[in-house]
């Protein structure tokens, strides 16, 4: 490719076609500043942009994280208080965010609309390279002190700040503390030694001047990497980058980089504590072993390390995972098991949770003995080949159902670009995979890596992290003492400054900025048509088959969908356990280890799940389905078809020892999920009695399920209870495999006949019985609950009964959520209240409107703000432009693309519940017609105080003070 394809301000370096991804990657270097630009040219309308800066703080004050937030609070050309969140409302973006990693900070966005893409590009370039960094924004986003009574200097001082509260929430998670503590010892001298997000105990030490100094050196083009994806040519992108930012900079003589860590010449053993606010702290200790490996930018070494990690830890047939799962030293393998390859130097970790401090040495012996045994005996060649097959499948699959596909590719390679490696090589794995196919023919390949990278590697740390149920109390006492000391040393002038700053910040938060200076799209820019994949339907021995021909890059996706039969309340509660066990236990003649190994050999994974929703015209009329889903490369499609057949018909539930392990693991995962998804759990709890589907969610996935699995885990110490659980799962299996079923098949169009023939050959003689379908009891009741756990922040939710999707009011209620968030909640709960996030929205499947907050230092005040947002809507006249912003946000969400397979599966499952393409298009048209009058009408009709259902996840201490107002439930 000639250099003329780039802008004159950039030097063209090279380009490479990656056949397996159907993209061409181009590399450029800005002539003046040295900024790198990697462009992934693809025939995709969804264009992606990311600018990353190397950020390597040498303390835990959170400077990179707070700067990420503050940089988005106004810039030279867009001097408004909140351009980032304003643009989320003036855009058709499919993704907007910013990330602080351990050694880089990135600002990505994506859009399918060219005008919108360039609008966002202008704002992002200005925000990152020309940020205002107002001291009040630092106070809001980072940290500040205020008097408890804002204008009373006699009241106590308190800390406030969005990032401070975010990290208090993040570090309430034992797993986050475990990770930060492990890396602190594994990396004693480089940036990974510190908490890049900020340790709550250190954040308040960061000064505004330190933030400015960090910005001036780190947010410069000479320290930047640009990465783009899509069908907009590199030259056009570079022209904007040059004109909007780069032409004002000269090269900065800096070389910000992470150096190699100094090696440890003897293994290190350490013990630390984490806060756990529970009386019984037995069985809550974590043990982790960590090894420092080689450089992540060496693709061959990285893939070899990935292969080793997968062979050792991928599933229950993997020797190290099996040793950890079956050990009586703990309840489950640690969440930190595996390879970390995003840092400059890779690390390998494995561990146990649910243990005791005194088991540390025995845990280490278990790991070392297992590694030595595998190094001596080797592993089956089929296991190595199967894991290499998984790496190949991962390279070929077109993802995009979470992040946009282009952003997934960029995120896979950004670390290498930041570390001045070769990101193009990281995208084109095929040459190295071919080399690995030759290397694994040597039976000593895996054993030699175990010896070299693990057994003989002295840069090893054994960490024991034990619970301490007095630590939170000590920390709170220390914080109060620190604030009291600060206050005692204050002059009258300093006290007045705190009062004045609080007043100035509140004035800034309530000021009305001139938003017209920001670019925007309008409803005229919204595509007229909504793309929904359409299936071809066939009948397979009386059962329906839906075929979607999609560009899947050589992968086949297959699902067996079973009508949920009538199930008891207990069976509904253990449905997630049943779904998990279906693919984690044995099948037919295969033991659970043999079965998992077979899955890896022939598929990209098989999993099962249940799904249920209310009817489009009645949320009380719920239908449900049980789904077994799998994917494979085309040459394995017959094996995949047979595997799904076997899984449904021949799954076994008689391996009770393994069943016991699974329940313990599920308990651990559920307990750890609380502080990460507390807002979702609070929403489920608030809505739990407002519809049958919401009730099942609460029992099977929500806070009730956490209580249930904790109780179940204790009961299973009794062999009779374990046998009874096995019998219940067998009974559920019998019901489900007899129920009516249907099929979904997604692959490339030319594979249609071959795949359908294979499916028919397998399933056409399978018997189907007529069974009673799932029936759920109607419910429309409210709750008022506080669920307590070990957390420094709260997660609040309020829910109201509304209408299902076919009702005329569903569209205005859907817009109402965005309108309240944009116009009131964001300012009141995030900016003023200090919560990390908040929002509102309509769930038409459950016919419920929900408010929520995330990592919130407040509780009752936030619940009051939910109510105040309704009053704000009803008591004021509103700008039609704000309505348009809310509509744009909803339409953007509706139109958000997924992967080719994901869009097909989404269309199919929506149609199962009556959300056909026609219904979805009609609803989208209703969204575009919503008026301000509609919003006020539905708010007044449905969001009445007496109809509200309330739930929050919070600390024990906070719940105690509110016990007279709420039902308090301990998790």
DSSP string, 444-503: THHHHHIIIIIIT---EEEEEEEEETTHHHHHHHHHHHHHHHHHHT--HHHHHHHHHHHH
Tokens of 389: 């097959």
Give the 3-state secondary structure of residue 924.
helix
- pLDDT tens per residue across span 863-877: 999 999 999 999 999
Contact assessment for residue 571 and residue 596, using Cβ atoms and an 8 Å cutoff: no
Strand residues in 245-334 grouped as ranges (E): 268-275, 285-295, 332-333
Contact assessment for residue 640 and residue 603, using Cβ atoms and an 8 Å cutoff: yes
- 235/808 Cα distance (integer angstroms): 48
Task: List beta partners, residue 785.
Answer: 951, 967
C-alpha dihedral sign at 854, 856, 859, 862: negative
- Other beta carbons less than 10 A from residue 602's beta carbon: 20
Rg of the chain over Cα atoms, rounded to whole angstroms, equals 28
For 23, phi and psi rounded to 5 degrees? -135, 165
Q: Residue 4's pLDDT band (boundaries 50, 70, 90)?
A: very low
**Secondary structure element (H or E) that encloses residue 951, with its range:** strand 949-954
| pLDDT score for 187 | 97
Which percentage of the chain shows pLDDT scores above 70?
99
- Is the pLDDT score of 403 beyond 90? no
- pLDDT tens per residue across span 118-138: 999 999 999 999 999 999 999
Tokens of 529: 């048509």
Contact assessment for residue 771 and residue 738, using Cβ atoms and an 8 Å cutoff: yes
| pLDDT score for 35 | 97
Task: List beta partners, residue 968.
Answer: 786
| pLDDT score for 242 | 98
Task: List beta partners, residue 350.
Answer: 289
Q: How far is CA 927 from CA 670, 808, 846, in A?
A: 37, 10, 19
HSE (CB half, 13 Å, CA atoms) of 966? 25
Long-range (24+ apart) CB contacts under 8 A made by 434-443 are 435/300, 436/303, 436/304, 436/307, 436/388, 436/391, 437/388, 439/304, 440/307, 440/381, 440/384, 440/385, 440/388, 443/378, 443/381
| pLDDT score for 20 | 81
Q: What is the dihedral of CA 161, 166, 169, 171, to 10 degrees?
A: -100
**Secondary structure element (H or E) that encloses residue 853, with its range:** strand 848-854
What's the count of helices (H) and strands (E) in the chain, helices before strands? 36, 28
| pLDDT score for 805 | 97
**Mean residue pLDDT across the chain:** 94
Q: Following DSSP, what letter does each residue of 712-752 receive, concatenated?
A: HHHHTTSHHHHHHHHHHHHHHHHHHHHS-EEEEEEE-GGGH
H helix intervals, 314-380:
319-326, 360-377
Q: What is the dihedral of CA 10, 16, 19, 24, to 10 degrees?
A: 10
- pLDDT tens per residue across span 286-324: 999 999 999 999 999 999 999 999 999 999 999 999 999
- Is the pLDDT score of 901 beyond 70? yes
Domains of the chain as residue ranges with CATH: 3-172+191-256+488-510 (3.30.830.10), 268-404+412-468 (3.30.830.10), 536-678+690-763 (3.30.830.10), 784-970 (3.30.830.10)
Give the 3-state secondary structure of residue 6.
coil
Task: List beta partners, residue 559.
Answer: 629, 744
Contact assessment for residue 387 and residue 311, using Cβ atoms and an 8 Å cutoff: yes
Contact assessment for residue 110 and residue 172, using Cβ atoms and an 8 Å cutoff: no
Q: How far is CA 311 from CA 162, 452, 486, in A?
A: 42, 16, 54
- pLDDT tens per residue across span 176-191: 999 999 999 999 999 9
- 217/254 Cα distance (integer angstroms): 8
- Other beta carbons less than 10 A from residue 401's beta carbon: 16
| pLDDT score for 1 | 35
Contact assessment for residue 46 and residue 410, using Cβ atoms and an 8 Å cutoff: no
Tokens of 419: 């570390």
Q: Following DSSP, what letter does each residue of 24-76 receive, concatenated?
A: EEEEEEETTT--EEEEEE-S-S-EEEEEEEE---SSSS-HHHHHHHHTTS-BS
Strand bridging mode 285-295 / 345-355:
antiparallel
CA angle 149, 950, 789 (to 5 degrees): 75
Segment 627-647 shows an average pLDDT of: 96
- pLDDT tens per residue across span 469-515: 999 999 999 999 999 999 999 999 999 999 999 999 999 988 888 88
Q: Following DSSP, what letter does each residue of 10-34 receive, concatenated?
A: EEEEEEEEETTTTEEEEEEEETTT-
- pLDDT tens per residue across span 732-769: 999 999 999 999 999 999 999 999 999 999 998 877 77
Q: Residue 519's pLDDT band (boundaries 50, 70, 90)?
A: very high
Strand bridging mode 837-843 / 618-633:
unpaired
- pLDDT tens per residue across span 231-247: 999 999 999 999 999 99
Q: Residue 451's pLDDT band (boundaries 50, 70, 90)?
A: very high
Segment 322-340 shows an average pLDDT of: 95
Contact assessment for residue 761 and residue 136, using Cβ atoms and an 8 Å cutoff: no
Contact assessment for residue 569 and residue 938, using Cβ atoms and an 8 Å cutoff: no
Predicted TM-score (pTM) of the model is: 0.93
Residue 420, phi-psi category: left (phi > 0), alpha (psi -120 to 50), beta (remainder)? left
Q: Following DSSP, what letter does each residue of 93-147 receive, concatenated?
A: EEEE--EE-SSEEEEEEEES-HHHHHHHHHHHHHHHHSB---HHHHHHHT-EEEE
Q: Residue 2's pLDDT band (boundaries 50, 70, 90)?
A: very low
Q: Residue 553's pLDDT band (boundaries 50, 70, 90)?
A: confident
Distance of CA 855 to the CA centre of its chain: 15
């Amino acid at each position: 490719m000639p250099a003329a394809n780039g802008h004159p301000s950039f030097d063209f370096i090279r380009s490479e076609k990656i056949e397996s991804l159907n993209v061409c990657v181009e590399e450029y270097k800005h002539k003046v500043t040295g900024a790198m630009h990697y462009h992934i040219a693809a025939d995709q309308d969804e264009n992606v942009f990311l600018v990353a800066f190397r950020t390597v703080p040498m303390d835990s004050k959170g400077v990179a994280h707070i700067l990420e937030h503050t940089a988005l609070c106004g810039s030279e050309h867009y001097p408004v208080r909140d351009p980032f969140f304003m643009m989320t409302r003036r855009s058709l973006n499919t993704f907007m965010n910013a990330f602080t990693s351990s050694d880089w900070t990135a600002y990505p966005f994506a859009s399918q609309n060219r005008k919108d893409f360039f609008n966002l590009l202008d704002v992002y370039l200005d925000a990152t390279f020309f940020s205002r960094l107002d001291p009040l924004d630092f106070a809001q986003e980072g940290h500040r002190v205020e008097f408890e009574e804002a204008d009373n200097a006699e009241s106590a001082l308190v800390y406030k700040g969005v990032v401070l509260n975010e990290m208090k929430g993040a570090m309430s998670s034992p797993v986050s503390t475990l990770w930060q503590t492990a890396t602190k010892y594994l990396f004693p001298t480089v940036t990974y030694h510190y908490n890049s997000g900020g340790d709550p105990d250190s954040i308040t030490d960061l000064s505004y001047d330190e933030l400015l100094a960090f910005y001036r050196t780190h947010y410069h083009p000479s320290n930047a990497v640009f990465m783009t994806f899509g069908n907009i040519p590199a030259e056009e992108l570079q022209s904007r980058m040059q004109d909007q930012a780069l032409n004002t900079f000269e090269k900065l003589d800096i070389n910000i980089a992470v150096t190699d860590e100094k090696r440890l010449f003897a293994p290190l053993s350490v013990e630390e504590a984490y806060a756990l606010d529970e009386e019984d702290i037995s069985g809550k200790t974590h043990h982790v072993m960590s090894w420092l490996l080689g450089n992540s930018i060496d693709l061959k070494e990285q893939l070899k390390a990935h292969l080793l990690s997968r062979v050792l830890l991928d599933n229950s047939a993997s020797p190290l995972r099996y040793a950890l799962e079956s050990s009586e030293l703990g309840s489950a393998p640690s969440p930190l098991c595996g390879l970390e390859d995003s840092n400059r130097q890779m690390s390998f970790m494995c561990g146990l949770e649910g243990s005791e401090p005194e088991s540390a040495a025995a845990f280490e012996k278990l790991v070392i003995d297992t590694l030595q045994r595998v190094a001596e005996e080797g592993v089956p060649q089929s296991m190595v080949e199967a894991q290499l097959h998984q790496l190949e499948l991962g390279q070929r699959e077109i993802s995009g159902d979470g992040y946009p596909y282009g952003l997934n590719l960029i995120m896979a390679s950004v670390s290498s670009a930041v570390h001045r490696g070769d990101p193009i090589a990281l995208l084109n794995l095929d040459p190295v995979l071919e080399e690995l196919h030759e290397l694994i023919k040597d039976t000593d390949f895996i054993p030699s890596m175990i010896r070299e990278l693990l057994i003989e590697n002295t840069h090893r740390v054994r960490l024991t992290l034990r619970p301490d149920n007095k630590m939170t109390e000590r920390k709170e006492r220390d914080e109060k003492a620190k604030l009291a000391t600060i206050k005692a040393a204050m002059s009258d002038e300093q006290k007045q400054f705190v009062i004045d700053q609080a007043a100035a910040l509140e004035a800034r938060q309530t000021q009305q900025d001139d938003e017209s200076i920001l670019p925007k799209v309008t409803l005229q820019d919204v595509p007229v048509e909504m793309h929904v994949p359409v299936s071809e339907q066939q009948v397979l021995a009386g059962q329906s088959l839906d075929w979607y021909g999609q560009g899947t890059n050589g992968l086949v996706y297959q699902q067996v969908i079973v009508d949920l039969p009538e199930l008891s309340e207990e069976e509904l509660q253990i449905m997630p356990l049943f779904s998990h066990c279906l693919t984690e236990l044995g099948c037919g003649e295969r033991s659970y280890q043999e079965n998992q190994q077979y899955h890896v050999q022939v598929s990209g994974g098989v999993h099962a799940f249940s799904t249920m929703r209310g009817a489009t015209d009645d949320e009380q009329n719920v239908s449900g389905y049980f789904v077994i889903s799998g994917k494979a490369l085309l040459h394995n499609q017959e094996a995949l078809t047979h595997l799904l057949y076997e899984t449904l018909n021949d799954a076994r539930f008689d391996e009770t020892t393994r069943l016991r392990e699974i329940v313990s693991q599920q308990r651990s995962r559920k307990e750890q999920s609380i502080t990460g998804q507390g807002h979702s759990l609070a929403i489920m709890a608030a809505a739990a009695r407002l519809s049958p589907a919401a009730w099942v969610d609460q029992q099977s996935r929500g806070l009730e399920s956490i209580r249930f699995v904790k109780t179940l885990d204790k009961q299973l110490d009794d062999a009779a209870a374990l046998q009874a659980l096995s019998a219940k799962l067998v009974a559920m299996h019998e019901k489900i495999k007899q129920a009516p079923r249907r099929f979904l098949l997604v692959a490339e169009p030319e594979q249609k006949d071959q795949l359908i023939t294979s499916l028919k050959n397998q399933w056409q003689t399978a018997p189907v019985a007529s069974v009673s379908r799932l029936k759920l009891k109607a419910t429309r009741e409210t709750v008022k609950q506080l669920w307590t756990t070990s957390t420094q922040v709260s997660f609040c939710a309020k829910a109201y009964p509304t209408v299902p999707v076919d009702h005329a009011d569903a569209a205005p209620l859907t817009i109402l959520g965005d309108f309240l968030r944009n116009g009131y909640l964001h300012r009141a709960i995030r900016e003023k209240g200090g919560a990390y996030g908040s929002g509102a929205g309509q769930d038409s499947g459950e016919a419920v409107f929900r408010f929520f907050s995330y990592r919130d230092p407040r509780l009752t005040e936030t619940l009051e703000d939910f109510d105040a947002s309704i009053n704000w809507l009803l008591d004021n006249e509103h700008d039609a432009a704000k309505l348009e912003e809310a509509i744009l946000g909803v339409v953007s969400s509706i139109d958000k693309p997924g992967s080719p397979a994901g869009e097909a599966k989404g269309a199919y499952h929506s149609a199962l519940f009556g959300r056909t393409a026609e219904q979805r298009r009609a609803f989208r048209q209703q969204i575009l017609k919503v008026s301000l009058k509609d919003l006020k009408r539905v708010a007044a009709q449905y969001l009445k105080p007496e109809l509200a259902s309330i739930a929050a996840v919070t600390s024990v201490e906070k719940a105690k003070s509110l016990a007279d107002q709420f039902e308090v439930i301990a998790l």
